Chain A
């Protein structure tokens, strides 16, 4: 009976420590169809697919390939079953050519027969409409060429079930069109394809069916023909959940940051932020919404002085009380900013790799931003220890002692230490990126409470988040980013989840029209 299914995943559960990434998830892929796996960030899409491709091993549940129950415990097993996955982070060796990358790890003769590989590659390319130069080195390739190579690699290895993890995130619209054309050719050839995405327009354009996950749970699937953007959004973001986060009206909000024409390019010259204009007010919480990698990190880092911006960009800081001239923050760097007495607090996404020193104890981490204070060549140790004890007591940090390296604390306690330190510096601007990611409910509420206290104290709070319920119930205004652009700024009290969802997937214009 199950013969029509290329893949069936039944009742799949996977947990990492205390976090349940997939909870009794179902997935069915018909032979010769393109299935969209849709969900917000952190909904467990990639985890589910990693179990299909042998990276992770499920805690429980069954996987059937072509109707037969299988165990997939390594990428090698997956290949043998004809499953190939193209990850978001390409698994290619830079100094090798395309053909050599394809040959890696494959059985075969003593010598790598580049000619034969080249011929096979060209054959695959002709069949599906790719273009890959087998002799080109990977370090000379553009992102889209690398992605093409990854797809060709899986096809070369005989995959007829392909998994593409957010393939369009790195592509231009033209490249996306080419990719979709290729995908249609592959479908015509009988391949079964799963495309992980959170872009609704792509779901509607390319896929036959769509399966939706939300917060690690299976929500449902439907034929794309019967779906529309609104229905899918509802499935993806879910009904509004009342969180009972306290939200007071901002009292006398004053303009604190003026961001004008902010454009940021990464090391490869790719535009990450495109002409952002945004004001941040003291005494309010500004939410930043968007699917991940849409410029949130660059925005915060540019304000913090860690990210150089293209000339013409400007971020002006206005001190309290409207007196004194506005100061340009860009080009200063974190040290110069703090030397000018501007207290920017920043809770970065990478807590242990950027915000904290993992091997140091809590007190040692308290010093990170103020160890320079004073003329003495020695670091002042009493104050950090007091601070550490305060934070442990007030935020109820669970730790054997304040001497314990923060690496050994649980995620929630790590975050309490980090947020506690940033708040203790009495900031005028407080930025936080994914401040409650991976935290339990209680700790999350602690963080919301702390942010609200800061708002009341007249701090300009920026909250980058992924949970729309939280954004809508915590923030006064929400700036929605999409692909490095500012889609719109909405009022947190009146906006709806759907509205923000559309803006995130760049369908806001059509929806509001």
Chain B
């Protein structure tokens, strides 16, 4: 009668030692690089090894390039760190794009309207505050509805992105400089008022330090504080949370305010510390990419550093090969997509074991 067992038996693994899990991920990544190489070769007939070398060149080839890579990776990381608490609570905040833009707009507003009247220290303080608040509000709105009416947060936060994008376009039109350019231009280009200052002569060092600090603090917050503990419990089981006397609603709202605020702060860093202008490119899809960063890292902020670096490396590298080999820099998105597909797929082999029927039989016989 056992012939009627299903052919393939899939069972959840009871935890895999961390190094084996990482081995599986590495195999996934290696396969992904292979697939990407095949893809690059098939459309360009270029030697993929050379292409990868060129990508390395593009991302880390010079001190300047390395700094730009670090700058962009740190913004991506910052957004990912912002998403971590929401995801740990199993709240699908796909609204980072909008939260970043709102933070960026708030910062730009401070820089534009008060740039002549306040000293940089005060400008920066004020910018930080307003960007935190703007991002927090953008995170709070869907959270309120989720907590009260269980409104689907994935769809709600997704829609909030586009409202933020249109608000940004609206502000760009108001602030455009020079008139008719449809862009804000570099804000306070002469005075550099409200810009994050260079540290030890390195323009982006402060960005990196700020973001790494946030990452460490977030790691500690999630792991060691009472709030972080509550977030884990709510994310695991609302029933257990109620049993332990945790107010699920309050945790949802508080956590989304935090998540939105950190994403808003990423907008501040992008504007005051990086581009010194505001447009929809301030977020430029990074709010979405960061979702993948946070998810792949299983909410561990240190793993996020690696993944953020990997993705930015791919992007910068692809831009390099685009110019070097006369390709188009969208190749980076293709390679990113392929790598992420493989990494997503490899998680299955970490979570589950697959046994075929014949194999199952053998083990039964052995046990018998």
Contact = CB atoms under 8 A, between A and B. Distances in A.
A and B: direct contact (Cβ < 8 Å)? Answer: yes
B225 A379 contact: yes
Contacts of A369: 244-245
A58 B4 CA distance: 11
B245 A334 contact: yes
Interface in A350-371: 350, 353-360, 364, 367-369, 371
Contact of B226 (A58, A73, A371): A371
A78 B305 CA distance: 54
Interface range on chain A (Cβ under 8 Å from partner): 35 or more
A407 B228 CA distance: 20
A411 interface: no
Contact of A359 (B225, B226, B230, B236): B236
B227 interface: yes
Given A71-B4, A358-B237, A408-B14, A379 B229 contact: yes
Interface in B237-277: 237, 239-240, 242-247
Nearest to B244: A368
A383 interface: no
A357 B235 CA distance: 10
A357 B245 contact: no
Interface string A303-341: 011100000000000000000000000000111111000
Interface residues on B, range: 20 to 34
B226 A378 contact: yes
Contact of A306 (B227, B232, B243, B247): B243
A58 B1 contact: yes
Contacts of B242: 306, 334
Contacts of B247: 335
B5 interface: yes
B224 A378 contact: yes
A357 B5 contact: no
A354 B245 contact: no
Contact of B4 (A73, A359, A407, A408): A73
Contacts of B178: none
A350 B242 CA distance: 13
A359 B14 CA distance: 11
A334 B226 contact: no
B229 A371 contact: yes
Contact of A357 (B15, B228, B237): B237
Given A405-B15, A408-B15, A377 B232 contact: no
Given A334-B245, A381-B224, A356 B240 contact: yes
Interface string B1-21: 100110000000011000000
Contacts of B233: 357, 368
Counting chain A CB atoms within 10 Å of each CB, which of B1, B15, B228, B232 scores highest?
B1
Most buried by B among A304, A357, A367: A357
B365 to A, nearest CB: 15
Nearest to A348: B243
Contacts of B227: 377
Contact of B5 (A57, A334, A364): A57
A448 interface: no
B175 to A, nearest CB: 40
B1 A354 contact: no
A281 interface: no
Given A57-B4, A333-B245, A408-B14, A368 B226 contact: no
A305 B245 CA distance: 9
Contacts of B230: 371
A346 interface: yes
A359 B1 CA distance: 37
Interface string B215-229: 000000000111111
A372 interface: yes
A379 to B, nearest CB: 5
A415 to B, nearest CB: 16
Interface string B31-61: 0000000000000000000000000000000
B237 A335 contact: no
Contact of B240 (A57, A333, A368): A368
With most chain A CB atoms within 10 A of its CB, the pick from B224, B230, B236 is B236
A300 B362 CA distance: 47
A3 to B, nearest CB: 23
Given A71-B1, A379-B224, A381-B224, A354 B229 contact: no
Contacts of A379: 224-226, 228-229
Contacts of B243: 304, 306, 334, 346, 348, 354-355, 368
A367 B229 contact: yes
Nearest to B13: A408
Contacts of A367: 229
- Interface-central residue, B5, B228, B229, B245, by most chain A CB under 10 Å: B245
A60 B237 CA distance: 37
A358 B15 CA distance: 12
Contacts of A359: 232, 236
A358 B236 contact: yes
Contacts of B224: 378-379, 381
Contact of A57 (B1, B228, B232): B1
B226 A355 contact: no
Contacts of A338: 245
Which are the 3 A-B pairs with shortest beta-carbon distances?
A335-B245, A334-B245, A73-B4
17 contacts: A57-B1, A71-B1, A305-B245, A335-B245, A335-B246, A337-B245, A353-B237, A358-B236, A358-B237, A359-B236, A368-B243, A371-B226, A371-B229, A371-B230, A372-B226, A378-B224, A408-B15
Interface of A: 57-58, 60, 71, 73, 304-306, 333-338, 346, 348, 350, 353-360, 364, 367-369, 371-372, 377-379, 381, 404-405, 407-408
